[in-house]
Chains A and B, each alone.
Chain A
Amino acid sequence: MPFDHRSAPVESQLSDKEIVMRHFIDLYLHIPDGFLSTPIALVGWVIMVVLVAAALRQTRGQLGDKQVPLMGVLAAFIFAAQAINFPVAGGTSGHLLGGTLAAIILGPWAAVLIMTSVVAVQAFIFQDGGLLALGFNVVNMGILTAFTGHLTYQLLKRLLGEGRISVLIAGAVGAWLSVMVGAVATAIELALSGASPLGVALPAMAGVHILIGLGEALITVGALAFIYATRRDLLNIGEAAPGKAGAGWVAVGLGIALAAAVFSPLASGDPDGLNRVAADLGFDGRALDPVYEIFSGYSIPFITEGNVSKIVAVGVGTFVVFGIAFFAARLQKRASA
């Protein structure tokens, strides 16, 4: 006989002002519904689903039956830690996003799950970020940050050698970069959706997040210093995470692809190949199926039409490359297993 557990009794009442205050802090990277076009939002969902499924498999192998309590409580930690802030300047404060820190401690795949939980709960309970937009919000804040932070950290540590300073520098750079990558990705997604021209979104998001990334770096370093001093062994869990090689390939692939997407408008010349791809995909501004009406008439006066097609095409290409890198990593891992 099934049980019935609905509607738990009321708890506290939160005033409207308190809710607004809370949301205002978390604004920058949480895309609300309405700003991403439907196709883009759905692409984000697909990427999220695929990578979260991979993360579940990886962490099961890595952590065994401690998987759930460990990641659950650490997700709670990230959530609570995001509320710890410190004054930066003129009434603003810096605080933690946490993808890099989680990836350094537990490895990138566990970090993906932890951050996915945090971002999802923020969306469902606090309406921080939309539900259709949840896919890319998770990708930007949970997946890109975890892998960027992890890869940067590992790379720099290998370059700088063992020791406390190496850990702190690698962590700082990883944290800052992870925020930048998340911000750039958000800008690209907004541009591809037609909500904001790339020429505006990119400098705005990147510019703002240079400082936010600095805050992330500082807190991450502070946390790493504390953990290094008290329980250094905890930092090794992330090192031993299996699938590290796979993560590296994924991150490299994604990084290259994103860099290409970002810098492609600046490249001179008009390779026919890319325009052809754009035309084939129907992104060159021709009138399309009414469902995709948003794309018709899509052009930006600041950037010529040819370059716009390129941006869009390369943006789509980003995710194709990403997909290839991911599957290549999986094949490689399977081969070496």
Chain B
Amino acid sequence: MLHIDLADHARHGSSRVHRLDPRVKVIATLLFILTASLLPSGAWLSFVFLFLATLVVASQTGLGITYALRRSFVALPFALAAITLPFTVPGPAIAQFGPLTLSADGTIRFLSLLIKSWLSVQIALMMTATTAFADLLWALRELRVPRPLISIVSFMYRYMFVLADESLRLTRARASRSAAGAGRTGGGLIWRGKVAGGLVGNLALRAFERSERVYNAMLARGFQGELKTLTPPALTDTDRNTLVGWVTFLAMVGLMGFIF
């Protein structure tokens, strides 16, 4: 069946957030992340307000207030990329570890960076969880992302599960023929790489042939080069009001960050 890694991350529900127009959700998410990004380092009060906002949104999704919190630490390993900041940014020192000096400015920068990243991930998680992918696609299309690109992504989404299943079958077949004693991996590195590559090549050909058949199926149903779509529903007052409220909130949080 379905390869576990590729399951649809949207969670069904009829909460307020679920019912929000997906266009509003996309814009709101992007603006939140932009606001967080624009805030200067050390804007602690603003960070707190942004965090409260994520909690409020989380409470409105019907998925439990810790839904995004629990999953938000996925980007944590990347924090290692910034780990040198406390030691390399000059400024008054707060601690000394042998030759390494921990500076206040560096630490503030580092922590601010982590917090911004953490907050951004949460809001993005909640957008994904409350929006069916098909809806996300038409929302992006309405927000002026070029139609052919949207269509390519749409096909990609549809067929990545199909191809992932085919890939799973191929790798299982490989595994069944790869007897190895405990702790031993047989075959050289290069050989293993080429076997994996062979699977990839096999998958590529299947993908090609699949795309030919899909194209024929599209032709059979009247496709003549331009993909047509139905008109999406109009924005409701709730949608508009929510967006206005959200933008106002973000603007205030942003200003707050530069004043305090």
A and B touch in the complex (CB under 8 A): yes
Residues of A bordering B, CB below 8 Å: 2-14, 16, 18-24, 27, 30-38, 41, 52-53, 56, 60, 64-77, 79-81, 83-89, 94-96, 101, 105, 113-114, 116-118, 120-121, 124-127, 130-132, 190, 194-197, 200-201, 204, 215, 218-227, 230-231, 234, 290-291, 293-294, 297, 299-302
User: Complex formed: what's the CA distance from A195 to B85 in Å?
Assistant: 7
Query: Do A219 and B8 have beta carbons less than 8 Å apart?
Result: no
- Chain B residue nearest to A205 in the complex (CB): B81
Query: Do B194 and A200 have beta carbons less than 8 Å apart?
Result: no
Proximity string of chain B (80-118) to chain A, C-beta cutoff 8 Å, 1 when within and 0 when not:
011011001111000000000000010001000111111
Query: Do B84 and A196 have beta carbons less than 8 Å apart?
Result: yes
Residues of A close to B132: CB separation below 8 A = 6-8
Query: Do A77 and B135 have beta carbons less than 8 Å apart?
Result: no
- Chain B residue nearest to A36 in the complex (CB): B37
Closest beta carbon of chain B to A212's beta carbon, Å: 12
Query: Do B232 and A84 have beta carbons less than 8 Å apart?
Result: no
User: Complex formed: what's the CA distance from A193 to B185 in Å?
Assistant: 42
Query: Do B160 and A76 have beta carbons less than 8 Å apart?
Result: yes
Residues of A close to B163: CB separation below 8 A = 73, 76-77, 79-80
Residues of A close to B58: CB separation below 8 A = none
User: Complex formed: what's the CA distance from A291 to B152 in Å?
Assistant: 37
Query: Do A22 and B5 have beta carbons less than 8 Å apart?
Result: yes
Query: Do B134 and A219 have beta carbons less than 8 Å apart?
Result: no
Closest beta carbon of chain A to B78's beta carbon, Å: 5
Interface centre among A8, A226, A234 (most CB of B within 10 A): A226
- Chain B residue nearest to A201 in the complex (CB): B81
Query: Do A31 and B78 have beta carbons less than 8 Å apart?
Result: yes
Closest beta carbon of chain A to B156's beta carbon, Å: 4
Residues of B close to A79: CB separation below 8 A = 6, 156, 160, 163-164
Residues of A close to B205: CB separation below 8 A = 226-227, 230-231, 234
User: Complex formed: what's the CA distance from A323 to B234 in Å?
Assistant: 39
Query: Do B197 and A222 have beta carbons less than 8 Å apart?
Result: yes
- Chain A residue nearest to B101 in the complex (CB): A301
Query: Do A38 and B208 have beta carbons less than 8 Å apart?
Result: no
5 other A-B residue contacts (CB within 8 Å) besides A7-B14, A84-B200, A218-B190:
A23-B74, A33-B120, A64-B225, A194-B109, A219-B197
Known contacts A34-B36, A67-B148, A75-B152; A218/B193 CB under 8 A:
yes
Query: Do B152 and A117 have beta carbons less than 8 Å apart?
Result: yes
Residues of B close to A297: CB separation below 8 A = 89-91, 105
Residues of A close to B226: CB separation below 8 A = 65
Query: Do B124 and A127 have beta carbons less than 8 Å apart?
Result: yes
Known contacts A118-B156, A227-B205; A33/B196 CB under 8 A:
no
Asked if B12 is at the interface of the complex by the 8 Å CB criterion, the answer is yes
Query: Do A127 and B90 have beta carbons less than 8 Å apart?
Result: no
Asked if B57 is at the interface of the complex by the 8 Å CB criterion, the answer is no
List, sorted by A's number, 22 A–B pairs whose CB atoms are closer than 8 Å.
A7-B12, A7-B135, A14-B9, A34-B118, A36-B37, A52-B146, A70-B211, A72-B156, A72-B158, A76-B207, A79-B6, A80-B203, A89-B189, A101-B204, A130-B121, A222-B193, A222-B194, A222-B196, A224-B201, A226-B198, A227-B201, A230-B201
Residues of B close to A95: CB separation below 8 A = 196
Asked if B60 is at the interface of the complex by the 8 Å CB criterion, the answer is no
Closest beta carbon of chain B to A246's beta carbon, Å: 19
User: Complex formed: what's the CA distance from A76 to B124 in Å?
Assistant: 23
Query: Do B155 and A73 have beta carbons less than 8 Å apart?
Result: yes
Query: Do A86 and B193 have beta carbons less than 8 Å apart?
Result: yes
- Chain A residue nearest to B78 in the complex (CB): A32
Query: Do A113 and B149 have beta carbons less than 8 Å apart?
Result: yes
User: Complex formed: what's the CA distance from A105 to B201 in Å?
Assistant: 11
Proximity string of chain B (191-223) to chain A, C-beta cutoff 8 Å, 1 when within and 0 when not:
011111111111111111011001100100001
Residues of B close to A23: CB separation below 8 A = 74-75
User: Complex formed: what's the CA distance from A91 to B199 in Å?
Assistant: 21
User: Complex formed: what's the CA distance from A200 to B81 in Å?
Assistant: 9
Residues of B close to A118: CB separation below 8 A = 156
Closest beta carbon of chain A to B227's beta carbon, Å: 7
User: Complex formed: what's the CA distance from A50 to B26 in Å?
Assistant: 21
Asked if B238 is at the interface of the complex by the 8 Å CB criterion, the answer is no
Determine which of B33, B91, B157 lies in contact with A121 in the assembled complex, contact meaning CB atoms within 8 Å.
Answer: B157
Interface centre among A3, A7, A121 (most CB of B within 10 A): A7
Known contacts A86-B193, A291-B38; A56/B148 CB under 8 A:
yes
Residues of A close to B75: CB separation below 8 A = 23, 32, 127
Closest beta carbon of chain B to A88's beta carbon, Å: 7
Query: Do B120 and A34 have beta carbons less than 8 Å apart?
Result: yes
Determine which of B82, B135, B152, B234 lies in contact with A195 in the assembled complex, contact meaning CB atoms within 8 Å.
Answer: B82
Determine which of A31, A116, A300 lies in contact with B149 in the assembled complex, contact meaning CB atoms within 8 Å.
Answer: A116
